[in-house]
Structure 1
Amino acid sequence: MYNLLISAAAALLAFALVTVPAGIHYWWAGLLAALIVFLGCFLIISRIITKKLSEIMEPAMKDIQAQRFEKGIRDLKDALRYGKWQIYVEAQINSAIGMVYFVKREFSTAFPYLEKGFFKNWVTMGMLAVTYMKRNKPEKMKETFEKAVVASPKESLLWSLYAYCLNEIGETVKACEVLAKGLAKLPGDENIKQNLELLREGKKMKMKPYGEMWLQFHLESLGTIQKQAMAQMGGKRPRIIRK
């Protein structure tokens, strides 16, 4: 990362400027000066990059929320030019781009961005794992979910999503083990508890309580969602009033 390199170079220069005139016996003074310069440079550059990113990212996210996807994505891609300056910046921007494409159901386009995404963004890690499942790569799916639950162990939907995907590929026993681990991390979580009981009884998991967060993973067809809505209404179609 450019920030680290520039800060380290400035620190080495400060060390030399102090120790060369004063003598090697004053190495401790050079080291102290180097540390101060390194931290100062690092913080100043970090603030500059953060400000520049905010100026791009905030309007981009507003465009995306307003469904002006193309403009938002274009601005996010423009922000990638700062990716080499700060650690994790590029990964976080890739996660944001990948999420937008995934939500739009442009899965092939989303995939390379999700692959380069931020491991602590559990939503995009989940999307990447789902993509691996759909591409018949179960080991990659499990590897991705494992990274996600280690980084974000307190996300109920993440544990249920992991188990759901395992159940989908026929690994119901493993799915129960995952939910049991999730329940250990989130004692008393009713959604995980209910899904664990359902799987043990050989029934389908209930993901609807997670709401729109669940729907963004596109694991249920629109037809299934409509059927669930109908069931809530007692199986009755909404009556059309004709004039």
Structure 2
Amino acid sequence: MYNLLISLAAGLLVAVAIRLGGFGWVAVIIPGVLATAIAYVALNLRAQKRLSAKIEAAVAEAQARRFDRAIQMAKGTLAMGPWLFGSQAAISALIGQFLWWKGENEAALPYLEAAAAGQWPARVMLAIARWRKRDLAGMQKIFEGALKGRGNNKQGLLWCAYAWLLEKEDRHDDAVRVLGRAVAANPADDKLKSALQALQNGKKLKVGKLYMEWYNFGVETPPQMTPPGFRSGRRATYR
């Protein structure tokens, strides 16, 4: 918003300066519009560069499991929200995810709710929160909204998360229908085909085997990894 206002002011100044030079109002329109557009692009690029650097630093802290520091850094970027359209929702989604990974699910909810449909990982977390509170209608509404986000219907994990939660509620037919839609939207996606086939054959949907990122949502714990050369038994032996 601020970038737009500054750009409009710049365009107006250029137009007024040309008008004071003796030119008619018709002659000042094109230069004024061009000045506005150039100023807006330049200001946006500058703000995006600053925001990206701050976000990358916050993500690095989260990856190192320094969640308090990551949350603090991400919250510090909220002040840039008025400078870039859509950034407020993206930053909120990130804060919500950091809080979720930290285990503070309730604290994450206001931020996850502020996330746009395009930020589908945050929307999946919000859908899981609705599911845990037995708000199944709300859960489905969030998933359906997320799938309408640009490019989100290509996200196999989003489809599988939706189907997995439906399956947990003994809504097997609904889960199969969801994955049927997923395969129809992504006919070349072998993972989605495998997931659909598993449900159609009455098998358990093992999302974690298809997408390791599934475990980031906290509804299932990843299997313990067996050290190389380890053989289970009365006595542990290593080769």
Q: C-alpha deviations, 1:212-243, integer Å up to 9, x for none?
A: 30111112257xx45xx68xx9x9469446xx
Partner of 1:71 in structure 2? 69
Map 1:143-182 to 2 at 5 A: 143-151=141-149, 152-182=152-182
The corresponding residue for 1:188 is 188
Q: Note if contact 1:101-1:109 (Cα within 8 Å) is conserved in structure 2.
A: yes
The aligned residue for residue 101 of structure 2 is 103
- Tell me the residue number matched to 1:45: 43
Structure 2 length normalisation: TM-score?
0.85
Does structure 2 retain, via aligned residues, the 8 Å contact 1:162–1:175?
yes
How big is each residue's C-alpha offset from its partner over 1:163-190, in whole Å with a ceiling of 9 and x where there is no partner? 1122223332222221111101211323
The answer as to whether partners of 1:156 and 1:191 remain within 8 angstroms in 2 is yes
CA shift in 2, pair 1:131/1:10, >3 Å? same
Correspondence for 1:58 = 56
Does the aligned pair in 2 maintain the 1:97–1:113 contact within 8 Å?
yes
- Contact 1:57–1:76 at 8 Å: present in 2 too? yes
Residue 84 of structure 1 aligns to a residue whose secondary structure is helix
Partner of 2:88: 90
Residues 133, 237 of structure 1: alpha-carbon distance in 2 compared, 3 angstrom cutoff:
farther
Q: What is the distance in 2 between the residues matched to 1:14 and 1:168?
A: 62
CA contact 2:44–2:84 (8 Å) conserved in 1: yes
Give, in angstroms, the shift of residue 55 of structure 1.
Answer: 3.9
Q: 1:112: how far off?
A: 1.0
Report the CA distance shift for 1:237/1:71 in structure 2 as closer, same or farther (over 3 A). farther
Q: 5+ residue gaps in structure 1?
A: none
Q: Distance in 2 between matches of 1:159 and 1:153?
A: 8
1:71-117 deviation line (CA, Å, top 9, x unaligned): 12111111111011101111111111111111222111111111112
Question: Contact 2:124 / 2:158 at 8 angstroms: preserved in 1?
Answer: yes
1:137 positional shift: 1.9
Which runs of 5 or more structure 2 residues have no equivalent in the other structure? none
The one-character-per-residue Cα deviations of 1:38-59 (angstroms, maximum 9, x if unpaired) are 1111122112212322342232
The Cα shift of 1:209 comes to: 1.7
Distance 1:237 1:204 in 2: 28
Identity of aligned residues (%): 31
State the 1:12 CA deviation.
Answer: 3.5
Aligned equivalents of 1:239, 1:95: Cα separation in 2: 48
Distance in structure 2 (CA, Å) of the matches to 1:64 and 1:133: 26
Would you say the 8 A contact 2:157–2:211 is kept in 1?
A: no
Output the CA distance in 1 between the equivalents of 2:66 and 2:97.
Answer: 14
Q: Distance in 2 between matches of 1:13 and 1:97?
A: 39
TM-score by length of structure 1 reads 0.83
In structure 1, what is the equivalent of residue 206 of structure 2?
206
Aligned length, in residue pairs: 231
Question: 1:81 — aligned with what?
Answer: 79
What is the RMSD of the two structures over their aligned residues, measured on CA atoms? Answer: 2.5
User: How far apart in 1 are the matches of 2:154 and 2:77?
Assistant: 30
2:127 maps to: 129
Amino acid at match of 2:146: A
The answer as to whether partners of 1:191 and 1:209 remain within 8 angstroms in 2 is no
Q: 1:19 Cα deviation (Å)?
A: 4.8
